[in-house]
Structure 1
Amino acid sequence: MRWGSVLSLGGAALVVLLQGQLVLSDIPIEVTSTDSLKSAGKAIAAPMWTFYEQNQTEGIPGKLTGTWYVAGAMFMTLIQYWQVSGDNQYNSVVSHDLMFQAGRNYDYFDSNYSQWLGNDDQMFWGLAAITASETGFPEVSGKPTWTSLARAVATMQINRWNTEQCDGGITWQIHPWQAGYTLRNSISNGGLFLLSARLGRFTTNQTYFEWAEQIWDWSADTPLIQAEKNWYVADSTSGDNNCIDSGDMQWSYNYGVYLAGSAVMYNATGDQKWLNRTTGLMGRLLQHFFPQEYGGNIFSEVACEKLHTCDRNMLNFKGWTSMWLAMTASMVAETRDAILPKLQGSAVAIGKQCDGETENLCGSRWYQDTWDGIKGLEVQMCALGGITSNLMMLSSTSAKTIRTNPNGREQFLDTYSDDTPDALPAISTGDRVGSWILTILWGAGIVAAAWWLIKQK
């Protein structure tokens, strides 16, 4: 879980509960019909895009008010949706804004945001870039390839591997001065695991597979992945306690990243251990997040939905995880029969929930037959992810939805070769100490400047 979200459960105030509103009829969805699912996708994507246009910070492409990574995750969702639906009406803006936010160094770590980003924030943009590579999303002329951008994110994050505590892992926050810096969470480490596995499969670069193995092994040696406890995935563990404790809130996306990464690793290597890990994680995810209370085939973010305590981050989780479930089914045929009815049941439920106001607004509780009053970009994206996952399932019966590119070892611009994740130097203790000194000096400079200005009055 994103702890910044917990600290701001007031973010739930962004969730607007509306009473007595005029509602539309349901979106009729036939889960075995590609045309029906495409029609539903268009109806759901349209208000999501309106929310995006209305909530860009001062018109900055790809920067939503109050968050940075959510737009990256939205582009990831839209690219996957485009690939399986053929709906290209958003492509030109997605392409421009996704590249714009890569920043001056094309690594999704621009100085405009880098002082307060977490590893999970940057990671989602990396997942958007690798999704563009895998789906064949058009490249931008004169710019680095999508694969190069995904590599740059992986390279930076791999070089943040921190052995000062817990014998490894990447921290949730990037900078030592950020609250929660010593925390190691599943979405940061699992997200890098998924990104590494997909880069390995797409480029056939063995180094990425080796890092995926290392991240998994480290996660399984900590409380983050507890295979002996029915494949329980904890939310986080603390470096302050040498990673012997765990934050036990259950969130679907923590399972989703480790599940999809394991499926990709099995598809790429054929190693039985990855099949065992895939089926183990899948079983836990399908049992916990598709409660029998709602019939057993409707996805629910059970930790927050019933009480309406999901903040803007949590509202997204099951949409992304739905697509990672479909990816798992595409990568590992043995999982398809278990996953298909869950995604289909959720799609039918989405059609009933997305009848809010006059614009097919979707809520958060898919198990509820009428709109639950929650609206915004996040719940629209979540529903679009649920529809997209079903289109992916139909596509995977006749064609691969995730392609490979063994020749994907292109250079990053003209000077930066990222053929291996060793291109950037690791962050050392000296670097961390230096960053603290610079922070102190920077703060002292501001105080001095303020004093000088006062003296001039």
Structure 2
Amino acid sequence: MKLTRLFGASCLLFPGLVASLAIPKTSAVIDATKASINALNTYYDNTTGRWNPKVNWWYSGIALQAILDYMQTTGSEEYLAQAQHTIDIQRAPLDWYPQGGGDFRADSTDDTAWWALALLRMYELTGNSTYLDIAKEDEAYIFKYWLPETCKGGVIWNIPELKYKNAISNELYLELAASLHNLIPGDTFYLNRSMTQWAWFNSSGMINSQWLINDGLLEPDPSDSSVCRNNNAEVWTYNQGVVLGGLVELHKATGDQKYLDTAIKIADAVVNSATLSPGGILTETCSETDSCTTNGWSFKGIFMNRLAKLNKALSGNPYSDYIRTNEQTMYSNARNGSDFYGGIWQKPFDGADLGKQVSAVSLLIATLGLS
């Protein structure tokens, strides 16, 4: 038999032995997180600079964000060369995207934004203004598709077809613009854009009566292009998460408590949802119908990343127990002997997948960052 756990609240088979080892909680969480990142990196293809080049490009953007978050949280530079290599290769023009003009400008606004946010983290880690400049270039590219002609504003998702104003593109743009403001001393340009973006999003109808966010807006009424309505499509966990990151950045920028108050309502709606948090464990609805793809498996880690950001911004850190409970449940149930994690955290390991693994890494990092 072996220890099931060396950290957190600890569920141990040999508690006396563990007490004698006296391993600090943080040290053990770092070890578990590094092991999960090393498992994630088995997907890494050095030639292309991508994690599993056979799947969607944006997954590599969130995998990059995860290892950058780990380094920022721990002060390590262990994966910095890999991060630089990834950015150097991936900033080239994307030949599979007709609109791809280099520097991560893609055919969808959300794909561009995932990479731009990772570049801001790289700038924070290195101080190299090249990364900041690319993120600014990407913000300008996305803003070109903030179209007031329909729905009174908002960023479209599909650039070639100029279609669909959805939650994720607009949430990512909010977080990107507000983050740029907070990283540039004396800025007002990005602050104004981020505040305009939030005012539009908040009134768009995508936040439903339960304080949960549906996937996007219906196509405009043919008789009035300004009229758009919530499409009542899937309530994905990442749509509940990214908006939290944007609201925390807006609060940081302005000091206005209203942004945190709104973030709390959205976070509480997830934490208290019998559908999204059955038994207190974050669950993607597609996993209940066995219909998740790598897309769906990747979403929970994105939510936990931003929930941890909100938690840190709040007095008393009210979501710490929720984050720890999810991490301990995942570690105890969904992990295999090679530090890969399944997609349903409260159930046994159900097979490896890039989306599942990057979600697990993000949850472990969220736990590592708890005070």
Code of the residue aligned with 2:211 in structure 1: it is W
Aligned residue among 294, 316, 325 for 1:345: 325
**Quick check: which has more Rg, 1 or 2?**
1
Aligned residue among 25, 45, 50 for 2:42: 50
Aligned pair 1:184/2:165, yes or no?
Answer: yes
Question: Within 2, Cα distance between the matches of 1:281 and 1:121?
Answer: 24
SS of equivalent residue, structure 1 residue 246: coil
Question: Within 2, Cα distance between the matches of 1:362 and 1:92?
Answer: 25
Please report how far the alpha carbon of residue 290 of structure 1 lies from its aligned counterpart in structure 2 after TM superposition.
7.9
Please report how far the alpha carbon of residue 337 of structure 1 lies from its aligned counterpart in structure 2 after TM superposition.
3.2
2:341 corresponds to: 362
Contact 1:77 1:385 in 2 (8 A): yes
1:100 corresponds to: 89
Code of the residue aligned with 1:182 in structure 2: it is K
Please report how far the alpha carbon of residue 84 of structure 1 lies from its aligned counterpart in structure 2 after TM superposition.
1.4
Aligned pair 1:29/2:7, yes or no?
Answer: yes
Contact 2:271 2:277 in 1 (8 A): no
Question: Within 2, Cα distance between the matches of 1:340 and 1:255?
Answer: 17
* Cα-Cα RMSD: 2.6
1:62 corresponds to: 50
Q: How does 1:21-420 map to 2 (within 5 A)?
A: 26=4, 28-30=6-8, 33-53=25-45, 59-62=47-50, 64-103=53-92, 110-111=100-101, 117-134=107-124, 136-137=125-126, 139=128, 145-176=130-161, 181-204=162-185, 205-226=187-208, 229-241=209-221, 242-288=227-273, 293-294=278-279, 296=280, 298-301=281-284, 303-330=285-312, 332-334=313-315, 336-356=316-336, 358-368=337-347, 370-371=348-349, 373-394=350-371
Identity of matched residues, %? 22
SS of equivalent residue, structure 1 residue 326: helix
2:20 corresponds to: none
Code of the residue aligned with 1:199 in structure 2: it is L
Contact 1:355 1:362 in 2 (8 A): yes
Q: Cα 1:289–1:217, aligned 2, differ >3 Å: closer, same or farther?
A: farther
SS of equivalent residue, structure 1 residue 187: helix
What do the CA deviations read for 1:280-316 (whole angstroms, capped 9, x no partner)? 222212223785642x2x2222x11222211111111
TM-score (norm 2): 0.85
Q: Which runs of 5+ in 2 are unaligned?
A: 10-23, 222-226
Contact 2:105 2:112 in 1 (8 A): no
What do the CA deviations read for 1:79-121 (whole angstroms, capped 9, x no partner)? 001121344332201111123212269xx97448989721111
Contact 2:104 2:116 in 1 (8 A): no
Code of the residue aligned with 2:358 in structure 1: it is M
Please report how far the alpha carbon of residue 374 of structure 1 lies from its aligned counterpart in structure 2 after TM superposition.
2.3
Code of the residue aligned with 1:83 in structure 2: it is Q
TM-score (norm 1): 0.70
Q: Which runs of 5+ in 1 are unaligned?
A: 1-23, 395-457
Please report how far the alpha carbon of residue 276 of structure 1 lies from its aligned counterpart in structure 2 after TM superposition.
2.1
What do the CA deviations read for 1:378-417 (whole angstroms, capped 9, x no partner)? 21111010010112223xxxxxxxxxxxxxxxxxxxxxxx
Contact 1:252 1:321 in 2 (8 A): yes
Question: Within 2, Cα distance between the matches of 1:189 and 1:289?
Answer: 27
Contact 1:62 1:98 in 2 (8 A): no
Code of the residue aligned with 1:50 in structure 2: it is T
Please report how far the alpha carbon of residue 251 of structure 1 lies from its aligned counterpart in structure 2 after TM superposition.
0.9
Code of the residue aligned with 2:189 in structure 1: it is T
Please report how far the alpha carbon of residue 193 of structure 1 lies from its aligned counterpart in structure 2 after TM superposition.
0.4
Please report how far the alpha carbon of residue 198 of structure 1 lies from its aligned counterpart in structure 2 after TM superposition.
0.9
What do the CA deviations read for 1:149-186 (whole angstroms, capped 9, x no partner)? 2111111111221122111111111112xxxx421110
Contact 2:323 2:366 in 1 (8 A): yes
- Number of matched residues? 346
Code of the residue aligned with 1:316 in structure 2: it is S
Question: Within 2, Cα distance between the matches of 1:348 and 1:120?
Answer: 31
Question: Within 2, Cα distance between the matches of 1:212 and 1:114?
Answer: 21
SS of equivalent residue, structure 1 residue 224: coil
Contact 1:77 1:320 in 2 (8 A): no
